[in-house]
Chain A
């Protein structure tokens, strides 16, 4: 036993690499947090007196309502997909993840464009039926509209996590309840929902973080939230300390919500495990129940993916394919940047996860916390931290260069290095989680066997772990790729000269209300993300089928 422990110790090389990466990830965050302990900004007093209550109310309403709605929608859909068979079910089991491919800000522009006075719906009613309805029925640009947008485009986080949980856990419970004559509704509310509470809450807290960090939708709808306030006080008033204070308060909102959930849950534990894991046998639906299930699932798919995509196609058609070369150019940039950055981030994540696996629980938990830090801080705030860090680094570099008489004049702060580093700070947590769950699935016996047989840590990693990690690496890569494709604030603030991605360009056009021009770019963006989602789900499915056969 003692020997085994020693064999599992990380080699110094791995450990040092990990420490290096972690320090790099932490510095930008620390750069920001330090601002909190300085004096309050000159505008803080004014912000607190006149605006804070409003920010707080709006953010809380948005976060809570979206969190709850997404939880119910995601869990409900996961249940229907996991427990029933009906025509179209196989397609929807991954089709319902597709709304994630549409960034909420693009969704917001599309929906507003569709329902506005000059949009296709009202124009059609006016021209065909001379119908002029009061504008209040079509008013989308308010808190309710924002909640709808966030829910319909972000619920897949809950859906994904709950479905994965249900497919692993519930077979025998479900069958017992059915045998005992419980109705499906009772089973859902009394058994499934409480049982999968952990998964639902985890998914829903991702949704809430996204909502709190989102800038595009609230900016467009004119809703004051913490995020718009952070931008306003920092960029509008040039007051960084005030915006950092607001960022910390925004994070408190999430902690409070999660804390309340924990209190409500109390000491109860809902996890349930059995060695007898097998897929749920799905019940075939007939008659009205079949129609109902189809209406529900297809309905969500329709509003979350089909309708906005078709509308974009129509707009793209109207713009007569203008700027095709331009679109291809931006697609290429996005693809290359997203792909390259994702590879680098995955490499970092594998190094950290491998070290974490060989360390004590305390250390590996700590590593997980640190990597996810960047995901919970608003993108704009990370951007400042990264910029400050790169400028410090440039100072050191130029000092070294003059010191050694080299004339290379390397400046990092206006290159792609800075942006890619910022992506790493923000998305390392996602990559780390994927790799880590991959390691959990593999277990430790192969690793231990290889070590006992006298192979080194590094050799074991390349010969044993890496090939087995492949599926996890693949899905981690694609998840990070999708996030980078959709990413807005970091790219907008930190990009180098002559650099545009699909997302930044689409946002520029859309915020200029040139939605027709934005349509092509949005479609390509959605296509890339959707393709990545398809690859993730079908890669897994092929593997599952292979196991089953």
Chain B
């Protein structure tokens, strides 16, 4: 009996392997997103087009590395990942190809896609200043540059520089103000930190609510997640902090989660269809709101919660710049000791 069970297990595994590659019309998607709504959106795509979607989820950087290692044999058709810096890295590693259709050009504004059309942004997040409603007057807040002033000595909490969001923020500042300015800025933030960088963005908002610091630098969607948390204490935290969109000389740093067609995509046509679908008005609303993000498609309105935070000016750069200056940013962080 025992032997029978073991044999059955082994056989079923190998049978399972063999049947994987049967469907006729399919597209293989490598993605870092893992939201339940994605499944529904992809199912709807299959219903409308008859194209099956195979999904491989994973950590963004590891997916990129995997596609690169798989080389010309890679089954990957579409790569979805967060952060323009990373998308640019994927382009540099020569794993994406340029695609351009009228629909895509219409759906995705020029500054939110690669300048050579290697990748397209799908959802937008802002990196904003979150402040304690008790201790900070929002009138005192301006742009990112003002965070280095003495007024915020030992008041700022922010996560580690190993995180791509901070790297892209600094890269945007390098692009706008130059490397020297950016290095001084990073050093100024390190001086004003209330504690060593630790935890993720959500932990920074919590630290502000708990009184460890007065200001946190974090992404917008984390606040959305906290407001909708199952944990009442987290909702309370979100209610005790305010959100400030940096303004001043240059606007708020925005970034995208986006997608590109893989260089050796075996199902290129289907890949393009998937990209068009995800940027279309009907998919955008759900795709963006699943993670409390802003849609890229100008025809689609942001969710009510996001609208309640108000409008804001964005940095006036093409997001490709974030990728170009990423290495500079990483090295600045290491030099100024931003852990």
* A interface list, Cβ under 8 A from B: 46, 50-51, 116-119, 122-123, 132, 135, 141-142, 221-222, 224, 228, 231-232, 234-238, 318-319, 336-337, 339-340, 343-344, 384, 387-388, 391, 394, 398, 411, 413-417, 420, 492-493, 495-500, 508-509, 512-513, 516
Contact = CB atoms under 8 A, between A and B. Distances in A.
- The listed residue with most A CB atoms (<10 A of its CB), out of B16, B93, B202, is B16
A367 B265 CA distance: 42
A336 B11 CA distance: 11
Given A224-B339, A343-B9, 8 more contacts: A51-B334, A142-B198, A222-B160, A343-B10, A387-B70, A388-B69, A414-B70, A516-B231
A411 B200 CA distance: 38
Interface in B296-339: 327, 330-331, 334-335, 339
Interface in B55-85: 55-59, 61-62, 64-66, 68-71, 73, 75
B209 A117 contact: yes
A394 B72 CA distance: 11
B107 interface: no
A418 B16 CA distance: 14
B175 interface: no
B233 A228 contact: no
Contacts of A508: 34, 57
B212 interface: yes
Interface size class of B (residues with CB under 8 A): 35 or more
A50 B335 contact: yes
Contact of A222 (B59, B197, B236): B197
Interface string B176-206: 0000000000000000000011111011001
Contacts of A388: 69
Contacts of B24: none
B20 A512 contact: no
B211 A135 contact: yes
B280 interface: no
A408 to B, nearest CB: 10
B334 A118 contact: no
A232 B70 CA distance: 20
Given A384-B69, A415-B17, A222 B210 contact: no
Enumerate the 10 nearest inter-chain pairs by beta-carbon distance, A residue then B residue, closest first.
A235-B61, A118-B233, A117-B210, A50-B334, A497-B54, A123-B233, A222-B198, A118-B234, A340-B13, A222-B160
A416 B162 contact: no
Query: Interface centre among A117, A234, A337, by most B CB within 10 Å?
Result: A117
Given A387-B66, A411-B73, A496 B57 contact: no
28 contacts: A117-B237, A118-B231, A123-B233, A135-B210, A135-B212, A141-B199, A141-B203, A221-B198, A222-B162, A222-B198, A222-B199, A222-B339, A224-B162, A235-B59, A237-B330, A339-B9, A343-B6, A387-B70, A391-B71, A411-B73, A493-B62, A493-B66, A495-B56, A496-B20, A496-B56, A497-B54, A497-B56, A516-B230
A387 B58 CA distance: 16
The B interface, classified by DSSP as helix, strand, loop or mixed, is helix
B202 A492 contact: no
A488 to B, nearest CB: 11
B200 A238 contact: no
Interface in B126-146: none
A509 B34 CA distance: 8
Interface of B: 6, 9-10, 12-13, 16-17, 20, 28, 34, 54-59, 61-62, 64-66, 68-71, 73, 75, 89, 93, 159-160, 162, 196-200, 202-203, 206-207, 209-212, 225, 230-234, 236-237, 327, 330-331, 334-335, 339
A485 B28 CA distance: 27
Contacts, number: 133
B206 A116 contact: yes
A420 to B, nearest CB: 8
Given A238-B68, A319-B230, A118 B206 contact: yes
A497 B28 contact: yes
A499 to B, nearest CB: 8
A224 B160 CA distance: 10
B61 A236 contact: yes
A415 B20 contact: yes
A416 B17 contact: yes
Contacts of B68: 238
Contact of A238 (B9, B93, B202, B209): B93
A337 to B, nearest CB: 8
B334 A235 contact: no
A549 to B, nearest CB: 26
Nearest to A409: B21
Contacts of B66: 387, 493
Contacts of A496: 17, 20, 56
Given A232-B162, A319-B230, A340 B10 contact: yes
A117 B232 CA distance: 12
Contacts of B13: 336-337, 340, 416, 420
Given A336-B13, A492-B58, A238 B89 contact: yes
B34 A512 contact: yes
A467 to B, nearest CB: 13
Given A222-B199, A493-B66, A228 B56 contact: no
